[in-house]
Amino acid sequence: MVLNWFLGDSSDGNKNLTSEESQAILAKFHELSSQILTIPEPIEVLTLDAVQNYFESDRPASQNVSTSKCALIRQPHDEGQLLALVFLDRNSQLILRFDGTPYGRQLVARSLDQKLEVAFEDKELIMVEQKRRKDTKDRIDEFLSQYEKQLRKFLGLPEVISIVTYESVIQYFVKDRPKDPRVQKGAILREPHPQGYHLTQMFLDAQNQPVLGRDGKPYGRQLVAKELDEELEKTFDDKDLIIVE
């Protein structure tokens, strides 16, 4: 089982590149620029909003959203400015596909909006803060809120357990995984409870949405734990959601 965290603001650390990191990114860009998809038709004005929307919509699906960074590189061009929109990993390296080509795109803009002009000043490269997207916890919270009245009936009244272990929750995902091709992941949501913790284990699809059976009931269970074992406590750390793939 691989644990991935789908929490937090994806812009963490985006603005703190060292000079050496910036130069390394630019050097790699120049090496691979011919392999980055280029939009052939120039645009009149490139806006910060358009850049953020691109980074949101085209973020590499294989990357953990909490660790990806976004960089905008500017180069001179006969018709204005050549802009490269690229994705970086947690180590500030260009994210590459399996064939070695970088994720991202290039385009020519005749001008930039004021926000981008101010951000660039005389620099070749800037980090772009991504718009905050609803993360998995937001979507599960919405789902739980929507089905609050039915949830107890669907998943059963919470069973009270003295201690819940890391091994037991993982074994549940393995042994009780529905034979439904939509199921791709599992989620463990932790909430406070007068007797300890209210845990909800659910099965998710590839878009991190809870999967419902034909009867309209979500696959999963809920239980109340008076305490969690040390391994499960460490896995949650200061977060309230674990994604299990």
pLDDT in tens, 215-238: 777 888 888 899 999 999 988 887
**What's the token pair of residue 113?**
């909006």
Same domain, 73 and 181: no
Residue 67 has pLDDT above 50, yes or no: no
Examine the domain organization and report whether 226 and 148 are in the same domain: yes
Q: Are residues 206 and 102 in the same domain?
A: no
* Residues 108 and 13 reside in one and the same domain: yes
Do 105 and 144 lie in one domain? The reply is: no
Please identify, among 86, 110, 127, the residue that sits at the C-terminal boundary of a domain.
Answer: 127
> Could you tell me what percent of the chain has a pLDDT over 90?
33
184 vs 149: which has the higher pLDDT: 184
Task: State whether 28 and 83 are in the same domain.
Answer: yes
Same structural domain, 13 and 121: yes
Residue 29 has pLDDT above 90, yes or no: yes
Question: How many structural domains comprise the chain?
Answer: 2
- Asked if residue 157 and residue 112 are part of one domain, the reply reads no
Instruction: Over range 130-156, report the average pLDDT.
Output: 56
Q: Is the pLDDT of residue 132 over 60?
A: no
pLDDT on residue 140? 62
Domain with 10, as residue range(s), is 3-127
Q: Do 177 and 66 belong to one domain?
A: no
| pLDDT over threshold 50, residue 9 | no
In the predicted model, is pLDDT for residue 154 greater than 80?
A: no
Is 120 found in the same domain as 147?
no
Q: Are 174 and 204 in contact (CB under 8 A)?
A: no
Tell if the pTM clears 0.75, that is, is over it.
no
154 and 213 share one domain: yes
